[in-house]
Amino acid sequence: MVIPERAWRDGETRRLLRNRDISALFRLAHSHGVSQSRIATATGLTQARVSEISNGVRAVTALDVFERIAEGFAMPDDARVLFGLAPKHPAGLDHLGAAGRAEILRIFPSQSTAVDEIRSEAAQAQSIEVLAVRGLGIIGLNDSLLRRTVRAGRTRLRMLLLDPDSAAAVRRVAEIGESEEAFASGIRLALARLRELAEEGSVEVYVYSAFPVWRVIALDDVMYVSAFGDEWEGHESAMYKLAPTPYGALHRGIRRHFEELRRSAHRVI
C-alpha cells in the first residue's frame, strides 16, 4: 500500500503507532486513498473485520496480527519500533533506537524502476528540489518524470542545472563522448521549458559550474539520489531513497552539497 514516507514521520502518526491505535491507522490509510478491501488483502483480514476495527467495534490484540499489519502497510523500521515490533533491518539501528535507523529506505536499480513511486510522492509534496545536468528526463519534456506535477501548480520547484558554458560542461562532454553543441543544446532546451513552467507556478532555476557528481530529486525532505559516472548518465545509475535521521551522514551531507552548489550558482529563472 502507498502511504507517503512523510506520513510515517508525522507526530500524530507516531502517537497512534506508540498506542497501537489500529482504528486510527486504518483511517490514516483510507485518507491516502487505500480502501478497506485493499487493507484486508494486504493484512490477511476479512473486509468485515477491517470495517469493525476501523469503526472501533473490535480491537487488535494478537501479536501475529500486528506483524501482518506492519508487513501489509510496509512500515519503515522506525515505525515498526514505535509499533512495538522488531526492525526488519536491525543493522540500521543502534543504541539510539528508532532515531538511529538506516537512512537508506530503498534502493532502485535505476530511475525507471522508481518512476511510479516518485510520481506518487511528488503529487503530495509541497516542494520539489532537483540537482541534475540537463534535467530533460526529469522535467524538460512533456512526458518527463515531474513536469505534469509541477504544471499542476501546487508544488514549488527549485532546480539546479549545469551551466552549458562552464568548463565542467566541457569536461562532462569529453567524459561521455557527446558533442559540445548537442550537450549544451540539451541544457538550453531544459531551461526554455522551465521558463514555460515559471509562467504557471513557483519555479526557481539556477546554473552551477562545478563538475557534476550527484543527481538529486528531493520531495520535501525525502531524497532520491543517484550518481553521474564516467560511463553512464544519472538516470541509469542505481537510485537510493534517503530520509533524514538525527545522526545520519548521507542525507545531511548531500543536502549540504545541494545548498552549497545553490549558493555559488547563478539564478537564471
Q: In this structure, what C-alpha cell is assigned to residue 103?
A: 537512512
The tens-digit pLDDT sequence of the chain (269 residues) is 668 878 888 889 988 998 899 999 999 998 988 999 999 999 999 999 999 999 988 888 888 888 899 999 988 877 888 888 877 765 444 434 444 445 778 888 888 888 999 998 898 899 999 999 999 999 888 888 888 888 877 789 999 999 999 999 999 999 988 899 999 999 999 999 999 988 887 899 999 999 999 999 999 989 999 999 877 788 888 888 998 877 678 898 999 999 999 999 999 99
Contacts of 114 (CB under 8 A, 6+ apart): 108, 224, 239, 241
Question: pLDDT value at position 155?
Answer: 85
Check: CB of residue 146 under 8 Å from CB of residue 128: yes
Q: The whole model's pTM is what?
A: 0.65
- Ranges of H-type helices in 157-209: 167-176, 180-198
Q: How far apart are the first and last CA of the chain?
A: 38
